[in-house]
Chains A and B, each alone.
Chain A
Amino acid sequence: MDRKITYAQAICEATDQAFQLDPSCILIGQGTRHSGHIFGTVHGLYEKYGPRRVIEMPLAEASIMGICIGAALSGLRPIYVLQRADFLFLALDQLINHAAKWHFMFGGQAKIPLVIRCIIGKGWGQGPQHSQSLHSICSHFPGLRVVFPSQASDAKGLLLNSIFSDDPVVFFEDRPSHNTTSHVSTQPYIIPFGRSRILHQGHHITVVAMSYLTHEASKAKNILENENISIEVLDLISANPIDFDTLEKSVNKTKRLVLLDTSWKTSSISTTIAAEIQKRCFNKLKSPIEILSLSDIPTPTAEVLEKEHYPNVMDIVNLCKRMMSSS
């Protein structure tokens, strides 16, 4: 059975179902017992499962990452929630030097089934240290799976896939997506890593978006239709591995590619995708690949500045129009 629920509810439902399916699942985070319940994503879990399985963490992000690794090594399936992805920097030694490499450097003898849920703030003056998307950084390191779903139904299936994967997974969610809704099955189900989704078919330009930018791209599609420009909107979903095959197929059809990135362009996943697609589709491309991302400044706090900082619907529309008129 399907029904419409929010992204936050889908995350919560996936966690609840994983807890029911497997008694070795635990959740550790800050604010698990407060009224906000991490933006509704762990609502009711503490009341249902108690302090043994829903652990309120001390503010010790670095060690908690290591503790989750140890718990995973001893047979548990921990979910570590960071209310802001920016705090991940405190825990990168454990994530990159240890979680990502443990299976490899011990010859495959030990595995780390661990999910790190990182929530990205946007708007209302989150400022430079509460708004960063670290998907590109995380996707750089072999040994981690990185996902960044935008739809509630994908969030549920991917979170279940992440929890029951035997590898460390960095699971990005952004705040604007939490309140969006989509049809989600009541049953537990999984969505594999490494698959992008075509949200809307089109034939002039492939627009690859991630997270909240998929919502912006969907709006742009409607506006562009009035201008007789048909864009194909792809939701990237998985940052490691990247679904190059789906992207290639789409670009071979549209012959134009726009990449929307929630972070900065320099050394980003978008530049990686651009490099690979220009190689695969070199002879088919009718125009240079464009990347729309944050400009190279930290996120400003004041509302008027924020508005200019983040790419919006009209930025996407204008870029697509420019691309069509010049090729």
Chain B
Amino acid sequence: MVYSLKCLSKDKLITFFKIQARIRLIELYLAKKYPEQQMKCPMHLCLGQESVAAACGVISDRQDIFMGNYRSHGHYLAKGGNLFRLFAELLGRQEGCSGGMGGSMHLIDLECMFYGTSAIVGATIPISTGIALGAAYNQRKQVVFVFFGDGAMEEGVIYESILFAKLHRLSIIFVCENNQLAIDTPLSLRTPSSVLHNRFRSLNIHSHYIDTLKIKNITYLLKKTLEAYHFVKRTSQPCLLEFKVSRWASHVGPQFEGPVHAWWQNPWSKEATNCTLVKTVRYLLHKNILTLPDIKMFYADEQKKIETTFKQALKNTTPPAFKQIKHLVYASGLESALPFKKNILHHIPNQKTNDSYSTNPF
């Protein structure tokens, strides 16, 4: 496919807005409900960072694969992850996306190709590289997106994985959401340079830097993501995208600050200039793609859906039973089945005393 900005249709722009707004509303709702202590798991909200997940969600295809990290409600939702199952998971219920076994930090939805997340910084980087290896091995035309933060850029596995992906020409996009914070430690205390994407220049890694806080035209963010996507598709080479973002939420927990409410009340508010969602709304209004009443109505409808879904997740679900979870430790039994069994002799040597062993000259 030849790279074309025409791929950014009005529909895509509207979807981009909707995914962002929906993630924002869900995260705000979770922040509100969290102190009620029904969701008993560490929760890392992505308030302020929604645009990255939304951009990747909107430009990727259904068969493409996402892998996230411990701050991945947004990535899960942007890939099409089921909201009821997300809520049920946060509530620790069997009906949750991970059967109630993962909580906020371990989300999965294989039906929509969301392959999982990890609580260990940077750990999904090599795993997703391996998924891209598997896709290449079976000649599946999938692009893998792996999301991580600036902290993961300090881990050794990022270098190892990018080297491997480049060597084996894997279709993977390494997406760094640089919010300049590791818990609360600023980037300046951790690394000598504030720009991260060019670290792998000697490996000839195609990379882009997108400052979502400074860009005026929101379509630039989408165009750069799309460009990277088509580059990976065209060349079967990995690519690294660095998005400078602002995290409004505390590292973990429901506290947040930032221009979160301004966007729908007053899209022209000066406080909200750093907000990609507000920038998206302004663009849609400016180009007459949506009207303010459209946007308000979308917000109200979504809010209602979120509340109803949460109530259902609270009411129509059950926690897993401790007795049953021991069966989850292993996927298979002690004895494996050889494939194409009928063609071969299925022979287990005698497990009792065997004379041939006692004569071994050891």
Contact = CB atoms under 8 A, between A and B. Distances in A.
Bound together: yes
Interface of A: 2, 21-22, 26, 52, 58, 60, 62-76, 93-94, 97-98, 102-113, 142-143, 145, 151, 153, 157, 160-167, 180-183, 185, 187-195, 197-201, 214-216, 218-219, 241
Contacts of A73: 115-116, 127, 130-131, 134
B338 A190 contact: yes
A70 B129 contact: yes
A22 B43 CA distance: 42
Contacts of B321: none
A195 B134 contact: no
Nearest to B335: A192
Contacts of A188: 338, 344-345
A160 B164 contact: no
Interface of A is mostly: mixed
B144 to A, nearest CB: 9
B273 interface: no
Contacts of B20: none
A308 to B, nearest CB: 22
Given A63-B157, A190-B338, A106 B106 contact: yes
A214 B362 CA distance: 9
B2 interface: no
A151 B317 CA distance: 51
Given A98-B123, A193-B335, 6 more contacts: A21-B344, A94-B127, A151-B357, A164-B339, A191-B348, A195-B334
A220 B50 CA distance: 68
Contact of B126 (A52, A94, A104, A164): A94
A70 B331 contact: no
Given A107-B99, A107-B102, A97 B129 contact: no
Nearest 8 A/B pairs, CB to CB: A70-B130, A107-B99, A66-B126, A74-B134, A63-B160, A60-B160, A215-B362, A111-B331
B315 interface: no
A67 B337 CA distance: 25
B339 A182 contact: no
Given A26-B137, A66-B130, A109-B108, A93 B98 contact: no
B293 interface: no
Interface of B is mostly: loop
Contacts of A199: 353, 357-358
B160 A58 contact: yes
A76 B99 CA distance: 24
Interface stretch (B73-81, B206-214, B322-330): B322-330
Nearest to B110: A109
Contacts of B356: 2, 182-183
A216 B360 CA distance: 12
Contact of B330 (A103, A106, A110, A183): A103
A74 B135 contact: yes
A73 to B, nearest CB: 6
